[in-house]
Chains A and B, each alone.
Chain A
Amino acid sequence: GENVEQHPSTLSVQEGDSAVIKCTYSDSASNYFPWYKQELGKGPQLIIDIRSNVGEKKDQRIAVTLNKTAKHFSLHITETQPEDSAVYFCAASIPKSLDKYIFGTGTRLKVLA
């Protein structure tokens, strides 16, 4: 079945620097890749997503890139701010399984002021 690996598990950056989180997936049929931000004690919040027919998508300081051949996708956050500190999860959608998501293991991002 589908497996999603996410790296790194923790990431500390100085305020203003960039942060990059990477995920790889195993099922070539996956066609939708959302990224979620989860703050302590809250539910995950969608921050950006990308479909398999697109290589890159950007929304202000956040961007996502997708390499279908290599089956990996990455989240890029530029000009990081302390409020970006949270746990970030990537996910891959499985179209053969009612569009269920397989989640990565999460990355705890700390932005140091």
Chain B
Amino acid sequence: GAVVSQHPSRVICKSGTSVKIECRSLDFQATTMFWYRQFPKQSLMLMATSNEGSKATYEQGVEKDKFLINHASLTLSTLTVTSAHPEDSSFYICSAQNRLPETQYFGPGTRLLVL
């Protein structure tokens, strides 16, 4: 299957700092990448959809100025959590989508802890 990597796997930061998470599709070109957030023992919540070279589409209730998404190439998307606060602590997961078929392949996730 297709491989998607995320970096870092976990990060601890102080409140008020910004954190950048990278998502890469290693063996295929992803026309679309998705960013999810997952709280303990809960399902995946879609935050935004990212297409290469265009602005991300955010889900209702997700602040675009808080969660900056850049999709610089067909293999790389980044999520920056700006001015992080303890309530931003969560498990962030990206996925990359093959166009044919439209299967999403998930990265291993990034655990963010904001102190």
Contact of A49 among B42, B103, B107, B109 (CB under 8 A): B103
B78 proximal to A (CB < 8 A): no
By secondary structure, the A interface counts as strand
> Is B102 touching A44 in the complex (CB atoms < 8 A)?
no
In the complex, A105→B105 CA distance in Å? 19
Contact of B104 among A41, A101, A106 (CB under 8 A): A101
> Is B93 touching A43 in the complex (CB atoms < 8 A)?
yes
B32 proximal to A (CB < 8 A): yes
B19 proximal to A (CB < 8 A): no
Q: Looking at chain A, what size class is its interface with the partner chain?
A: 20 to 34
On chain B, the residues within 8 Å of A36 by CB distance are 106
In the complex, A34→B105 CA distance in Å? 11
> Is B106 touching A32 in the complex (CB atoms < 8 A)?
no
A42 proximal to B (CB < 8 A): yes
On chain B, the residues within 8 Å of A100 by CB distance are 34, 46, 49
Nearest A residue to B10 via CB reads A41
In the complex, A34→B98 CA distance in Å? 14
Q: Answer whether A46 and B103 are a contact pair too, CB < 8 Å, given A41-B111, A99-B32, A99-B97.
A: yes
On chain A, the residues within 8 Å of B57 by CB distance are 98
List 15 additional A-B contacts (Cβ < 8 Å) besides A101-B46, A105-B42, A106-B42.
Answer: A34-B104, A41-B109, A42-B109, A43-B6, A43-B108, A43-B109, A46-B1, A46-B105, A46-B106, A49-B101, A99-B32, A99-B97, A100-B34, A100-B46, A103-B44
- Chain A residues with a Cβ under 8 A of chain B: 32, 34, 36, 41-46, 49, 51, 89, 93, 98-101, 103-106
